[in-house]
């Protein structure tokens, strides 16, 4: 990548970092992407599945097609970094590097626009609302795969702690099914000084929190992976009242549907039976996504693309129990999701941390890999 393009991409990335937008609110981000695609001379369609943008490049006579995807949304986190391009939006920041992903895909479009050494069609998918707000499903529902044909799909996520510019290609699972649950316990309110006249859901909640931690240790095969974590505990309005209701919310992560079903059965059973023990009731709500799982041929293409781009390639990393809605694209098309090394974690700035920052030095690697994997896919036989 020449210096002029790198300087341009760095400026674009920092502009996006300074102006983050939450999922389903990426109006300015989408407009910025459209502006830069226009400057690059790459045609596009806007408002796909919300604020999504899909750009298309076609060259030569090949009928092969491939999709490259990047996410655009930010997180509800107050940034504490002291940098010139610090978030200007209170309580919103790019704490996961989607500013870098978006910029990297723009960089790939620039590289492929200038490269005559390929034939076929590349779809550049700028996806909104990845952070738990249904962006991938919205684009799929809007017919993104039918309106913009792509035989295979590829994407990347920066990975703090992995050597900068390293391409990590997993065998099969990359990230887990991400699920959420809410358990509401209903008892009988009363004066806190007269507990015998009430059914105290706060006490029951304490038992429930402890019991839920036995699901992974006692109900899941030790050779499988699962997580149950509680993120919120809510209940009561006064220190001298036993409340009617309390509730907890949390997340669960699995890779295999059978493990997920076992986990949910136990989650519901434990909640209801503990409630019954204390003469109360429990209401359990949950939802879940799908695991991000690569396909074998596309894993090899992703690794070959890393080598073609002159990047270090690793194929020995374990999957993560984080989640990613690119999984819904991989349900519909063969493809591969890689991790791109972001370099050392600085000042605790891991993903979703208020000190996180995307490493601009990896923009050539990220854009280069995206362009290279598109060429690898287009040069291959149809899946």
As averages over each run of 10 residues, the pLDDT of the chain (383 residues) reads 96 98 98 98 98 98 98 98 98 98 98 98 98 96 98 98 98 96 98 97 97 97 96 97 98 96 98 98 97 98 98 97 97 98 96 98 98 98 94
Provide the token pair at 272.
């209801």
Query: Order of strands, edge to edge, in the sheet holding 177-186?
Result: 226-235, 245-254, 177-186, 281-288
Residue 213's alpha-carbon distances to 20, 69, 114, 226, 269, in angstroms, are 36, 36, 54, 11, 13
* Residue 313 to residue 340: CA distance in whole angstroms: 10
CATH, domain 3-173+291-378, list 3.30.230.10, 3.40.630.10, 3.40.605.10, 3.40.1180.10: 3.40.630.10
Residue 341's alpha-carbon distances to 26, 144, 157, 252, 316, in angstroms, are 26, 29, 9, 26, 14
CATH number, domain 177-288: 3.30.70.360
Model pLDDT, residue 93: 98
**In the chain, which segments carry CATH 3.40.630.10?**
3-173+291-378
Model pLDDT, residue 270: 98
Provide the token pair at 207.
């038992």
Radius of gyration of the chain (CA): 23
**In the chain, which segments carry CATH 3.30.70.360?**
177-288
Model pLDDT, residue 323: 95
* Residue 16 to residue 333: CA distance in whole angstroms: 29
DSSP structural state of residue 230:
E
Provide the token pair at 180.
């959420």
Residues facing residue 59 across a β-bridge:
120
Length of the chain: 383
Query: Are the beta carbons of 176 and 257 closer than 8 angstroms?
Result: no
Full-model pTM? 0.94
Model pLDDT, residue 355: 98
* Residue 360 to residue 11: CA distance in whole angstroms: 9
Backbone angles phi, psi at 210, to 5 degrees: -65, -45
Q: What is the DSSP string of 258-284?
A: HHHHHHHHHHHHHHHHHHHHTT-EEEE
Model pLDDT, residue 272: 98
Model pLDDT, residue 351: 98
Q: Which residues contact 129 (CB under 8 A, 6 or more apart)?
A: 23, 24, 26, 50, 51, 73, 135, 138
* Residue 278 to residue 207: CA distance in whole angstroms: 10
Q: Directed axis angle between helix 363-378 and helix 3-18, to 10°?
A: 110
Q: Output the CA torsion sign for 98, 81, 174, 50.
A: negative
Model pLDDT, residue 141: 98
370: nearest Cα among 327, 337, 323: 337
pLDDT tens digits, one per residue of 127-179:
999 999 999 999 999 999 999 999 999 999 999 999 999 999 999 999 999 99
Share of the chain above pLDDT 90, in %: 100
End-to-end CA distance of the chain: 30
> What burial class does residue 299 get, using C-beta atoms within 10 Å of its C-beta: 0-12 exposed, 13-18 middle, 19+ buried?
buried
Model pLDDT, residue 74: 98
Query: Are the beta carbons of 36 and 109 closer than 8 angstroms?
Result: no
88: nearest Cα among 99, 379, 66, 102: 99
* Residue 267 to residue 181: CA distance in whole angstroms: 9
């Amino acid at each position: 990548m020449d210096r002029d393009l790198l300087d341009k991409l760095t400026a674009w990335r920092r502009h996006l970092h300074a102006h983050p937008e939450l999922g389903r609110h990426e109006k300015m981000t989408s407009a910025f992407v459209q502006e830069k695609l226009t400057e690059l001379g790459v045609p596009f369609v806007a408002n796909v599945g919300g604020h999504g943008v899909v750009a298309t490049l076609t060259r030569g006579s090949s009928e092969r097609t491939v999709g490259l995807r990047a996410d655009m949304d930010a997180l509800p986190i107050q940034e504490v970094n002291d940098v010139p391009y610090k978030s200007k939006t209170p309580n919103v920041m790019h704490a996961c590097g989607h500013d870098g992903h978006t910029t990297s895909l723009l960089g790939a479009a620039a590289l492929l626009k200038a490269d005559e050494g390929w034939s076929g069609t590349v779809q550049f998918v700028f996806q909104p609302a990845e952070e738990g707000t249904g962006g991938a499903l919205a684009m799929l529902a809007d017919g993104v795969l039918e309106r913009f044909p792509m035989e295979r799909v590829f994407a990347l996520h920066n990975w703090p702690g992995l050597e900068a510019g390293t391409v990590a290609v997993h065998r099969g699972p990359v990230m887990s099914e991400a699920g959420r649950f809410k358990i509401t316990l209903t008892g009988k309110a009363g004066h806190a000084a007269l507990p015998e006249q009430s059914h105290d859901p706060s006490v029951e909640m304490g038992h429930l929190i402890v019991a839920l931690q036995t699901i992974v240790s006692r109900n899941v095969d030790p050779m499988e992976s699962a997580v149950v974590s509680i993120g919120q505990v809510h209940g009561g309005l006064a220190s001298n009242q036993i409340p009617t209701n309390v509730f907890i919310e949390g997340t669960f992560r699995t890779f295999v549907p059978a493990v997920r079903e076992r986990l949910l059965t136990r989650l519901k059973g434990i909640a209801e039976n503990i409630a019954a023990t204390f003469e109360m009731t429990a209401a359990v709500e949950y939802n879940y996504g799908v695991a991000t799982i690569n396909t074998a041929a596309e894993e090899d293409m992703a690794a070959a693309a890393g080598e073609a781009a002159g990047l270090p390639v690793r194929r020995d990393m374990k999957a993560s129990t984080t989640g990613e809605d690119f999984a819904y694209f991989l349900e519909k098309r063969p493809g591969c999701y890689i991790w791109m090394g972001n370099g050392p974690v600085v000042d605790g700035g891991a993903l979703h941390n208020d000190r996180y920052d995307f490493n601009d030095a990896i923009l050539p690697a990220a854009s280069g890999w995206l362009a290279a994997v598109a060429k690898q896919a287009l040069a291959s036989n149809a899946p």
